[in-house]
């Protein structure tokens, strides 16, 4: 029922029942017999002094020690009842009430004593007694109504307080009208309940009775409007108050701005308060410290800290606020000093310091801090458990996590929803999905965060179908699906590589209005991971306010789909917008540039990193090393590597891998030794890069040694890829039978990568019998990989079994598979030019083919070049085989490079497949007769051709 601005007619009986009656019996004025004897009337001065000193026991004794027939005055009762209310001494209050009834002090009461009793019951939290007393009053003043409203407010029953106010307005009692205290209390109740409309009606009543200019009412109006989210009205009330503003007025409007997220406005108001010459109180400092926390205004926070120290009035609430401010600003040392200065630490102090360690990444320190907390006599509570789980999860310390879980169970905190959610997240980060499931099942109340957490846990643990099932269960339970939950289930879509489910979730998000920027970026990224470039691009185009994540996701989509030129072009387009690349975007584009072998563009990005003062450490410097090595420039890769001050295992591994790709096996081993000497422990990827280097440099004994070192010294169980490197190492050295025996001795069931390595080696060394064994295994394990069919077909072709070769290739079409055509590309200036075999689409095609014919003729006459048609694996005539060799894509790229660059300029060429033996010989002769350094990157490694020889030593 809303408040009426005009006095209404008296309500009907039904209406009165609605607003007045409660199922409580009124407390009568005459309930007790006068059984307490009195001796003399209490002295006013003595009683007042006892109440001032807070001596309730003596005050009560003096109050009840009066002479018979001379009861204490109402002022004396008032003094004692005020002390009872301050001490919230409920039993003593009831005793005073009984004495007043027994002495007849309530007979003929004008409402003063009854109101004092009402106030006392309200302060003591005895709202039922207050209501019974109020219902039994024959004379009610506005103070009585105010006392009952205040009692309900103190008890947290704002709606009941509003009900009492409505009853007052409907009562029509003569001479009883709401005053400023009434309206202030009612406005507070409106704010608690969020009843903005009711608050406006009360505001209108205040204006009508000219109470809106009262500082008390105005402050209540400001607080009410702020809590109801109507900040403009709160600011208008504040502006009209002008000369009547006190510290509470400023605090109310500052607090209102903070509640509505207007922190800069709140800061501006605080400056205005300072200009007005008003002193800060603890409420002000705590509020402004919260502003400093939200805006990371460390300097202002320090100013406030200095002011608090200067006035010497520090209280715990201020120190705790300072602690939180320093935490948010990342100043752990200052937070720690504030914490040490707190003499009487409470749970907020301990938990704030613990949270400081966790929020600033000092997880081990947080766990140590718990010991200090226990020594201080404080037992971890709900908030402490949440912070601890977060720290343990980040460290991946499962044993400590289980200890925390056991404590939570012992204290019966594990079934709490927030604690359960944090425990699940902790076990997920410790990679113990079963424990997360156990926690989830034990939780009595599961909110949408609980369901989202378990879905995310399953998705990240590759339990993709279980994640989908949990999502269905959540829907059945009526759990609200929000963008976060959609993002979690999209992670399962990513693992399953299913674009169909991603499209369904996309449609669901559109229908239910869940598409925020974060979810759009996630869907864009999932489409890219599923190879749906078209849908990624459509999503990208629909995002109006693109952020750095949007651009980076689309760049990754292009790069992962092999559209490298498009990725580089999109990065250039992004630089023309207001969005500035971050380290993640730069790492992504460096990966695309490395695959594209575009040295010029890589140098541009490197220059951008230097100009923008990006830190040359971590992922950025590792990506630069990968980029330079992928573009064929080992010298630049070494410069970047040597210039890095902090070399982690990723950077060392990148450099080892670079050396291996370029055929520098000895250098890779030297780098590995240096890494170990510096105290950096190698991981699985480090050993993989090292074994790859040994494989491509014919370092058989060294490779075997490092496999043994990996298992015995570093306790690392080899992956399938490590075993494949050993097979490749043995096979490339001609020991194909040894490689096969090694496969049979593997502790794991060999996967396709292992059989592919054996098949490649058997093909090079003409072990056709063993090649057929490997081919059968390969096609059995990966029947949908077109590259495997091509490899098997080539083996049949080399054996002269053309019918079998054609049958295998026919199976590619039957299965609807598509083989990527062989292509090569070369960078000239700022452009990348791509060629396929027999390519005539280039704008300079005629010149290129004429130049290629000229090169071939020169190689025949001066270099003794004779085409080796064994590398043409097609059943055609010798003349046709020669023509096929002449039209290989890398030869077209070389010819174009020679006519497009000055003499002596190095040529850098990349190819998506392995270089054939004839093209390898052809390129060696070109490097000698045309005096060019030619760097060729094929699918396996780099070849540096110079003066008629190759860095691979004809071993690739």
**Which own/partner pairs from 145-149 qualify as long-range (CB within 8 Å, at least 24 positions apart)?**
145/176, 145/178, 145/182, 146/179, 146/181, 146/182, 146/185, 147/115, 147/118, 147/119, 147/122, 148/118, 148/122, 149/182, 149/185, 149/186, 149/189
The pLDDT tens digits for 5-42 are 233 333 333 333 333 333 344 444 443 334 334 434 56
pLDDT the model gives residue 549: 93
Contact between residue 739 and residue 727 where contact means Cβ atoms under 8 Å apart:
yes
Contact between residue 581 and residue 608 where contact means Cβ atoms under 8 Å apart:
yes
Distance of CA 797 to the CA centre of its chain: 54
The torsion angles phi and psi of 823, rounded to 5 degrees, stand at -150, 155
CA distances from 608 to 580, 605, 654, 732, 831 (A): 11, 5, 21, 42, 19
pTM: 0.68
The pLDDT tens digits for 564-574 are 889 999 998 99
Domain membership flag for residue 327? yes
Give the domain-ending residue among 617, 634, 657: 617
Give the domain-ending residue among 617, 642, 664: 617
Three-state DSSP state, 822? coil
Give the domain-ending residue among 593, 617, 641: 617
Q: Number of structural domains, the chain?
A: 3
Contact between residue 913 and residue 787 where contact means Cβ atoms under 8 Å apart:
no
**Which own/partner pairs from 830-833 qualify as long-range (CB within 8 Å, at least 24 positions apart)?**
830/600, 830/601, 832/565, 832/596, 832/598, 833/893, 833/896
pLDDT the model gives residue 621: 93
Round the CA-based radius of gyration of the chain to a whole number and report it: 41
pLDDT the model gives residue 173: 63
| CA pseudo-torsion sign 358, 360, 361, 365 | negative
Specify the DSSP element, H or E, that contains 835.
strand 831-836
Planar angle of CA 574, 577, 581, nearest 5 degrees: 50
pLDDT the model gives residue 21: 36
Three-state DSSP state, 942? strand
- Alpha carbons 836 and 847: distance in angstroms, whole number: 16
pLDDT the model gives residue 42: 61
CA distances from 713 to 309, 471, 526, 716 (A): 57, 44, 40, 8
Domain membership flag for residue 303? yes
User: Which residue range forms the structural domain that includes residue 567?
Assistant: 546-617
Residues of the chain with pLDDT under 70: 1-44, 66-69, 108, 172-175, 312-315
Residue among 501, 499, 505 nearest 520 (CA): 505
Domain membership flag for residue 283? yes
The pLDDT tens digits for 920-935 are 999 999 999 999 999 9
pLDDT the model gives residue 69: 60
Domain membership flag for residue 705? no
pLDDT the model gives residue 314: 60
| CA pseudo-torsion sign 902, 904, 905, 906 | positive
Domain membership flag for residue 328? yes
Residue among 767, 734, 773 nearest 754 (CA): 773
pLDDT the model gives residue 837: 87
Residue among 215, 223, 266 nearest 241 (CA): 215
Domain membership flag for residue 34? no
pLDDT the model gives residue 133: 84
| CA pseudo-torsion sign 331, 334, 340, 341 | negative
The torsion angles phi and psi of 103, rounded to 5 degrees, stand at -90, 0
pLDDT the model gives residue 43: 65
pLDDT the model gives residue 844: 92
Domain membership flag for residue 398? no
Domain membership flag for residue 631? no
Q: What is the largest CA-CA distance in the chain?
A: 142
Give the strand pairing for 907-911 and 823-828.
antiparallel
Specify the DSSP element, H or E, that contains 836.
strand 831-836
* Burial per residue of 773-793, b for 16 or more beta-carbon CB atoms within 10 angstroms, e otherwise: bbbebbbebbeebbbbbbbbb
């Amino acid at each position: 029922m809303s408040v009426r601005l005009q006095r209404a007619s008296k309500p009907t009986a039904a209406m009165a029942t609605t607003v007045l009656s409660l199922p409580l019996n009124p407390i009568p004025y005459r309930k007790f017999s006068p059984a307490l004897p009195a001796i003399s009337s209490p002295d006013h001065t003595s009683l007042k002094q006892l109440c001032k000193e807070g001596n309730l026991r003596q005050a009560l004794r003096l109050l009840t020690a009066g002479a018979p027939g001379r009861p204490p005055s109402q002022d004396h009762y008032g003094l004692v009842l005020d002390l009872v209310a301050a001490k919230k001494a409920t039993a003593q209050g009831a005793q005073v009430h009984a004495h007043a009834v027994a002495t007849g002090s309530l007979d003929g009461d004008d409402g003063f004593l009854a109101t004092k009793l009402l106030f006392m019951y309200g302060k003591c939290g005895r709202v039922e007694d207050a209501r019974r007393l109020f219902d039994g009053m024959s004379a009610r003043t506005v103070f009585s109504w105010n006392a009952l409203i205040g009692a309900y407010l103190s008890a947290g029953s704002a709606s009941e307080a509003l009900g009492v106010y409505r009853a007052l307005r409907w009562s029509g009692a003569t001479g009883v009208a709401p005053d400023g205290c009434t309206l202030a209390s009612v406005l507070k109740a409106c704010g608690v309940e969020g009843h903005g409309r009711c608050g406006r009606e009360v505001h209108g009543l205040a204006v009508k009775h000219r109470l809106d200019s009262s500082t008390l009412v105005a402050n209540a109006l400001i607080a009410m409007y702020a809590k109801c989210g109507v900040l403009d009205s709160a600011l208008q009330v504040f502006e009209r108050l002008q000369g009547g503003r006190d510290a509470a007025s400023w605090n109310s409007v500052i607090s209102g701005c903070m509640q509505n997220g207007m922190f800069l406005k709140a800061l501006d108001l605080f400056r205005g308060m300072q200009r007005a010459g008003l002193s800060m109180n603890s409420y002000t400092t705590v509020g402004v410290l919260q502003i400093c926390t939200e805006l990371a205004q460390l300097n202002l926070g320090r100013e406030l800290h200095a002011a608090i120290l200067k006035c010497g009035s520090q209280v715990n609430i201020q120190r705790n606020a300072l602690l939180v401010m320093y935490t948010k600003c990342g100043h752990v040392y200052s937070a720690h000093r504030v914490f040490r200065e707190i003499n009487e630490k409470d749970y907020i102090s301990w938990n704030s310091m613990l949270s400081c360690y966790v929020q600033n990444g000092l997880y081990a320190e947080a766990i140590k801090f718990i010991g200090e907390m226990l020594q201080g006599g404080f037992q971890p509570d709900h908030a402490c458990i949440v912070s601890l789980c977060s720290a343990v999860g980040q460290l991946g310390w499962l044993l400590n996590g289980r200890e925390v879980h056991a404590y939570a169970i012992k204290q019966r905190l594990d079934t709490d929803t927030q604690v359960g959610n944090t425990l699940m997240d902790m076990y997920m980060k410790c990679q113990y999905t079963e424990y997360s499931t156990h926690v989830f099942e034990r939780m009595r109340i599961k909110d949408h965060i609980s369901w989202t957490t378990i879905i995310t846990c399953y998705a990240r643990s590759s339990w993709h179908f279980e994640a989908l099932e949990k999502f269905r269960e959540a829907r059945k339970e009526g759990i609200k699906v929000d963008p976060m939950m959609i993002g979690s289930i999209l992670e399962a879509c990513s693992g399953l590589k299913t674009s169909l489910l991603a499209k369904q979730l996309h449609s669901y998000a559109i229908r239910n209005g869940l598409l925020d920027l974060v979810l759009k970026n996630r869907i864009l990224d999932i489409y890219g991971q599923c190879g749906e470039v078209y849908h990624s691009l459509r999503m990208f185009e629909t995002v109006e306010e693109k952020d750095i994540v949007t651009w980076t996701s689309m760049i990754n989509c292009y790069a992962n789909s092999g559209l490298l030129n498009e990725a580089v072009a999109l990065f250039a387009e992004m630089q023309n917008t207001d969005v500035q690349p971050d380290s993640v975007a730069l790492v992504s584009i460096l990966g695309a540039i490395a695959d594209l072998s575009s040295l010029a563009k890589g140098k541009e990005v490197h220059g951008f990193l230097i100009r923008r003062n990006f830190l040359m450490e971590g992922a950025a410097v590792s990506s630069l090393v990968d980029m330079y090595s992928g573009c064929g420039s080992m010298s630049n890769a070494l410069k970047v590597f040597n210039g890095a001050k902090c070399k982690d295992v990723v950077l060392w591994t990148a450099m080892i891998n670079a050396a291996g790709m370029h055929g520098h096996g000895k250098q890779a081993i030297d780098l590995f030794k240096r890494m170990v000497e510096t105290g950096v422990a190698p991981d699985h990827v480090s050993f993989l890069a090292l074994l790859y280097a040994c494989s491509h440099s014919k370092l058989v004994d060294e490779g075997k040694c490092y496999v043994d070192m990996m298992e015995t010294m570093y306790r690392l169980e080899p992956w399938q890829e490590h075993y494949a490197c050993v097979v490749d190492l043995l096979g490339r050295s001609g020991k194909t039978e040894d490689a096969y025996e090694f496969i049979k001795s593997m502790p794991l069931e060999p996967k396709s990568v292992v059989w592919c390595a054996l098949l490649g080696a058997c093909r090079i060394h003409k072990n056709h019998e063993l090649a057929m064994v490997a081919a059968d295994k390969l096609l059995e394990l990966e029947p949908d990989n077109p590259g495997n069919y091509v490899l098997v077909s080539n083996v049949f072709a080399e054996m002269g079994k053309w019918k079998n070769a054609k049958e295998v290739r026919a199976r590619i079409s039957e299965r609807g598979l598509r083989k990527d055509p062989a292509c090569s590309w070369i960078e000239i200036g700022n452009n990348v030019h791509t060629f396929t075999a027999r390519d005539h689409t280039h704008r300079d095609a005629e010149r290129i083919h004429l130049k290629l014919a000229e090169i071939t003729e020169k190689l025949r006459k001066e270099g003794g070049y004779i085409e080796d048609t064994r590398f043409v694996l097609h059943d055609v005539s010798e003349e046709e085989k020669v023509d096929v060799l002449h039209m290989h894509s890398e030869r077209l790229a070389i010819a174009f490079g020679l006519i497009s660059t000055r003499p002596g300029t190095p040529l850098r060429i990349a190819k998506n497949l392995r270089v054939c033996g004839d093209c390898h010989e052809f390129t060696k002769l070109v490097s000698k007769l045309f005096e060019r350094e030619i760097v060729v990157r094929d699918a396996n490694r780099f070849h540096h051709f110079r003066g008629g020889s190759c860095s691979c030593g004809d071993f690739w």
